Amino acid sequence: MEGIDRSRRRFLGLTAAVAGLALLPSAAAARAGLLHGWRGTALGADACLRLVHPDAAEARRLIGLCLAEVARLERVFSLHRADSALVRLNRDGRLDDAPADLVRLMAEAAAFARASGGRFDMTVQPLWALHAGHFAQAGADPAGPAPARIEAVRRLVGFQAVEIGAGRIAFARPGMQATLNGIAQGYITDRIVELLRQEGLDDVLVDMGEIRAQGRRPDGRPWQVGLDDAGANGPLALTGAAVATSAATGTVFDMAGRFGHLIDPATGRPGALWRTVSVGAPTATTADALSTALSGMPGEAAAALLSRYPGTTAFLTGADGRTTVLGMAAGG
């Protein structure tokens, strides 16, 4: 299952309806001058940084480095910018000067696609565009695009038809397009954490659409993230870990809210089986991709996929509000 913005993934966006993800900061630490932060947007989504540092000027410098890196990665992954590498790939069907970050992330996306049996598929963009375009029309059929049209567009979908090489990416079928909305904000979060660690900073909380924590808060306690839809299982204490949430109705195509943005590549139609899926994992890239893939998978299949990724936990909340826990938190 791949999709666009899950509430952060607005009509093109990169990341999720974070109905469920709330940062729990330490006001005392902020008053003590140890906790420094920034809030803004990254790839159209709400974003923030929190870092622990005794020197305010140095903290500002580090935040500036992070924002420059986010801007650089937006020029790679954005679907809004006409000059981004991903937009150029979708327009031309190939990219012979592909940035290393795009090659790396598309290779990782292909690996998640294989592991999930195609539930996560970066080439689902034409189907998303079909549904968005259909419901943007006045008097659109509330039943959605015509089945024949869906089937025609579905033939453009298939991660196996993406050729990824050193500095080169190409689509094997004319008309194919890719979206990295189910993984890119996790990837950007990881890159920012890596940048700060290279600068010698160990205590940070980074949210570039998905959340990852390193070290601890100034008071020595773990960073915490609230999971509103995980019942008694939240909040999560994060130390050297990440969390991502995917919500079926974080973004919807139609006014009635029947057609969510998470599309099943096998049917060409929206097909989330869970109201929300939250995943804890060692990296934000993994958490992001798995939260998207698991949204369309029944319990047994979800457990099988999660078992392939050590150190992961999933909270699957159904329409009835009941939450199933898989992985480490369930004793798996």
Q: Where in the sequence is the domain holding 290, given as residue range(s)?
A: 21-330
Report if residue 2 sits inside a domain. Answer: no
Report if residue 278 sits inside a domain. Answer: yes
d(CA 242, CA 289): 12
Tokens 């937009």 label which residue?
A: 87
Report if residue 12 sits inside a domain. Answer: no
pTM metric for this prediction: 0.87
* pLDDT, one tens digit for every residue, the chain (332 residues): 443 333 333 222 223 223 334 444 445 544 456 899 999 988 778 899 999 999 999 999 999 999 999 999 999 999 989 999 999 999 999 999 999 999 999 999 999 999 999 999 999 999 999 988 887 888 888 888 999 999 999 999 999 999 999 899 999 999 999 999 889 999 999 999 999 999 999 999 999 989 999 999 988 899 988 775 554 455 678 889 999 998 876 676 667 667 667 788 989 888 778 888 999 999 999 999 999 999 999 999 999 999 999 999 999 999 888 999 998 655 44
Bridge partners, 2 (sequence order)? 263
Which CATH number is 60's domain given? 3.10.520.10
> Which of 94, 78, 106 lies closest to 174, judged by CA?
94
Q: At what angle do helices 85-92 and 56-77 cross, to 10 degrees?
A: 0
d(CA 250, CA 276): 9
Report if residue 171 sits inside a domain. Answer: yes
HSE, CB side, 13 Å, CA atoms: give it for residue 226: 7
Name the binding residues. 182, 288, 292
Report if residue 15 sits inside a domain. Answer: no
d(CA 278, CA 167): 33
pLDDT tens digit string along 146-186? 999 999 999 999 999 999 998 999 999 999 999 998 899 99
3-state per-residue secondary structure call for the chain: CECCCECCCCCCCCCECCCCEEECCCHHHHHCCCEEEEEEEECCEEEEEEEECCCHHHHHHHHHHHHHHHHHHHHHHCCCCCCCHHHHHHHHCEECCCCHHHHHHHHHHHHHHHHCCCCCCHHHHHHHHHHHHHHHCCCCCCCCCCHHHHHHHHCCCCHHHEEEECCEEEECCCCCCCCCCCCHHHHHHHHHHHHHHHCCCCCEEEECCCEEEECCCCCCCCEEEEECCCHHHCCEEECCEEEEEEECCCCECCCCCCCECCEECCCCEECCCCCEEEEEECCHHHHHHHHHHHCCCCHHHHHHHHCCCCCCEEEEECCCCCEEEEEHHHCC
Report if residue 268 sits inside a domain. Answer: yes
Report if residue 13 sits inside a domain. Answer: no
d(CA 3, CA 107): 18
Name the binding residues for Mg(2+). 182, 288, 292
| Nearby residues of 179 by Cβ (< 8 Å), 6 or more positions away | 2, 4, 79, 86, 122, 124, 125, 128
> How many structural domains is the chain composed of?
1
Report if residue 14 sits inside a domain. Answer: no
